[in-house]
Structure 1
């Protein structure tokens, strides 16, 4: 009788070990799929940042009296950074205002400098 109880207990333990092993393998498969989703998401974010940067540059180029030839625009998550040089202080202000007016821009870091040409 003791050997029958022992075999029942042993088969129960084996069933639990097999179930845990199957669960661990299934969980491992899910975690390998997550980086692919993260990569896709990162690509989407970068694409949106580039698109916002292009929109800001286009808005600055449409602003009257702003020379965009030496202005670089970087966008990251709605935050826009303007770097480069312009001939006078008025263009710095106009470029910052034009960038702030673009939909999707949350903040503008205006690091433009005045360089006489």
Structure 2
């Protein structure tokens, strides 16, 4: 009688341990899946903040018409697109963007368009 109870108790313990291990493995897998999403969110926020900093620096630059300039930032790389009235403003926009903290490179795709 004791051996039957011990066997049953051993079976219950084995099932409990197996369920507990499975639950922990599932939680770890869920955490691993949410980590990249959180990282992607943080990257987007950092890119957006850098874009705003560059845009603010361009707006403060004397003699630069920013009304037709678009700024995109990704991982420290900034891309300027749009149009400005003359070549001097293209150069000014590029050097201003390069001077912003956090900017690793600038792709200046601005073009001259008489307004």
Interval of TM-score (by shorter of Structure 1 and Structure 2):
0.7 to 0.9
Give the TM-score, by structure 2 length.
Answer: 0.79
Matched, 1:55 2:53: yes
Q: Runs of 5+ in structure 1 lacking a partner? A: 1-10
Q: Give the whole-Å Cα distance in 1 for the aligned partners of 2:24 and 2:53.
A: 44
Q: How does 1:22-61 map to 2 (within 5 A)?
A: 23=21, 25-61=23-59
Q: Runs of 5+ in structure 2 lacking a partner? A: 1-9
Equivalent in the alignment of 1:107:
105
Length, aligned pairs only: 107
Q: Which moved more, 1:19-28 or 1:63-72?
A: 19-28
Equivalent in the alignment of 2:3:
none
Equivalent in the alignment of 2:4:
none
Report Cα offsets for 1:60-115 as digits up to 9, x if no partner: 11111110000000000100000000000000000000000000000000000000
Q: Give the whole-Å Cα distance in 1 for the aligned partners of 2:90 and 2:56.
A: 15
Q: Give the whole-Å Cα distance in 2 for the aligned partners of 1:19 and 1:110.
A: 61
SS in 2 for 1:44: helix
Moved over 3 A (4+): 18-25
Equivalent in the alignment of 1:98:
96
SS in 1 for 2:50: helix
Q: Give the whole-Å Cα distance in 1 for the aligned partners of 2:106 and 2:18.
A: 53
Equivalent in the alignment of 2:7:
none
| Cα RMSD, aligned residues only | 2.3
